Structure formats: structure tokens, C-alpha cells
Structure 1
Amino acid sequence: MAIILLVTISLFIHRVNLLKERELAYQDLSEKFQQLEKKYATEDSSELEVLFRLCSYLEKEKAYLNTKLKVDEVAEAIHSSQREISVLLKKHKNQNFNSFINHYRVEEVLRIFNDANYEHYKLESIAMMSGFGSKQSFYNTFEAVVGEKPAHYRQKVQTEQPSLK
């Protein structure tokens, strides 16, 4: 009985620490957002409005999960043009459309890696679920964005998470 209580307390403490880490990450993101807000305060508000609509659309609709997503589809959905999106992404993000979308896909992969419900899924399955159209694109993009190979990163995440088995 004492062992079960100790394990439960240990898991509780670990969860509390994870929540604290997430709160700190949220605060960091909030500060970065405020800094960006100040930085772009002098920018053309119509440009920022289009970027806001683009990001909002991608996040709400999860359009990046579509492996065949095209810039013209997104432009139509946010009432913009392909050219405007391309110019704005180059100017404000220093990325082309595909790189921008692939960053969202990598974030989705990272979210899945942190979800124990997906721990037995193959990397290629997770890549396809996240919108990547090919295994090579997934591996190249993930390593470029995260700085590690997906399998190595996933292994680190899984060893850091407490097992409830």
C-alpha cells in the first residue's frame, strides 16, 4: 500500500513540475508575442492583418494537416492573393509558403510525440498525420527545425515522460 502511495505521490509531483514548465513556456511565448507586437506596431497594419488571418486560419482549421495544401487554397480562404502571402512571408518570416507550413507540421509532430496515446505509432504514420507528404520531407524538415533526428528526439521525450503502465 505504501509503495502505491509513493508512486502516486511521485507521479503527482512530476505532473506538477510539468505544469510549471508549461506555464513558464506560456509566459515566454506571451513575452515574445508582446515584443513582436511592439516591433510591428509601426508596420503597415494591412500586412499584419493578412498575417494574422493566415495564422488564425491555419491554427483554427488545421489546414497544414492537408498533405496537398496549396497557397492558392489558403489565399482564397483568407481573402488574399498568392502573391501577397508569398511577399508577406518572405518579408516578415523570411520563409516561403512551404517552409512556413512545414513549421506548423513540425509543431504538430512535437505535440503528438508528447501524447502517450501515440507512443506506438511509427514515425512515418505520425509524419503523414501531421501533413507531411513524404518521409524524406518530414525527416529533412524536422531535423532542420528541431536540430535533431525525429527518432532521437522522440526517444528523449518518451524517456522523460512517466509511464502509467
Structure 2
Amino acid sequence: MVNVVLNKGEIGIKTKAAAEPIDHADQLLLKIKSKMEEEKLYLNPKLKLNDLADAVELNRNMVSRLLNEEYLHGFSNFVNEMRVNEAMKLIHLRSDLSLEGIGYEAGFNSKSSFFSAFKKISGLTPAQFKKNMQTA
């Protein structure tokens, strides 16, 4: 990160030192993914970063940094990707549920958050995905 500093008419540049690399980052990220998938933590619509950090026994900042730097997504995107994958499975398996119901079952707390995350992640609306699945 570079900051320009103006001081008495002089221009200086300060650089912020890069954070130290995370030891065993790939193993820690695998631990986070495994815990999320095995315990289906993402199904909790009120899931917070602190909840995930507690579940994997890491501090909140470490989990956030791992997701941002190693997974290249923040916490919300990480959780939404898992929820969308769950919704895709449910669309295939649960014809008794409405698309809105599938969103709630997958851990989303509203129809709009489900539809927008689904479209962002898959490139399709849930209805388009369902239609494509039925014609395949």
C-alpha cells in the first residue's frame, strides 16, 4: 500500500509493509472448508465470521485473512458460494420446494439475497438453472 504524504510543501511516499505470509495457509484453508462442509455451518442464516472462527479454533482475523488472501474471497462470498452449491443440489433433489423455499433451506435469510447471490455465482437465476437442469 502506498500513501502520499504532504508535509510543508514536500511530497513523500510511505509504503506499508506487506503482512507476513501465513504459515500452513493451505492446510488452514482446507480446515475451514472441511468444517463448513462437514457441519454445514453455512445453513445457519445468521452465521458470522466469529462463529466460523470459533468452530475452526482460529482467531477471527486469521480466518478473515485466509479467506481474503488465500481463497481470494471475503467471508460473505465464501459462505454464499457454499449456500448456492447447496441450493443447486436442493433444486435437483427437492421438487416439493419453491425456489424461495430452497433459498431458505440453503441458509439464505431472504429471497432477494438468495436470487442475487445465485445469479452472481452461477451466472443464472435459480429459475433458469432449474429449467436448464430439467431439459438436460
What TM-score comes out, normalization by structure 1 length?
0.66
Gaps of 5+ in 2: 1-20
Alignment match, 1:156: 132
Distance across 2 between alignment mates of 1:107 and 1:100: 11
Higher share of residues assigned strand: 2
Give 1:45 deviation, angstroms. Answer: 4.5
1:71 aligns with 2:60: no
Amino acid at match of 1:151: A
SS at match of 1:94: coil
Alignment match, 2:14: none
Q: Which of 79, 102, 118 is 2:80 aligned to?
A: 102
Map 1:1-165 to 2 at 5 A: 45-115=23-93, 118-160=94-136
Gaps of 5+ in 1: 1-42, 161-165
Distance across 1 between alignment mates of 2:48 and 2:38: 17
Amino acid at match of 1:82: R
Give 1:59 deviation, angstroms. Answer: 0.8
Give 1:98 deviation, angstroms. Answer: 0.9
Amino acid at match of 1:146: S
Overall identity of the aligned pairs, in %: 32
Q: How many aligned positions are there?
A: 116
Higher share of residues assigned helix: 1
Give 1:86 deviation, angstroms. Answer: 0.9
What TM-score comes out, normalization by structure 2 length?
0.80
Q: What is the RMSD of the two structures over their aligned residues, measured on CA atoms? A: 1.4
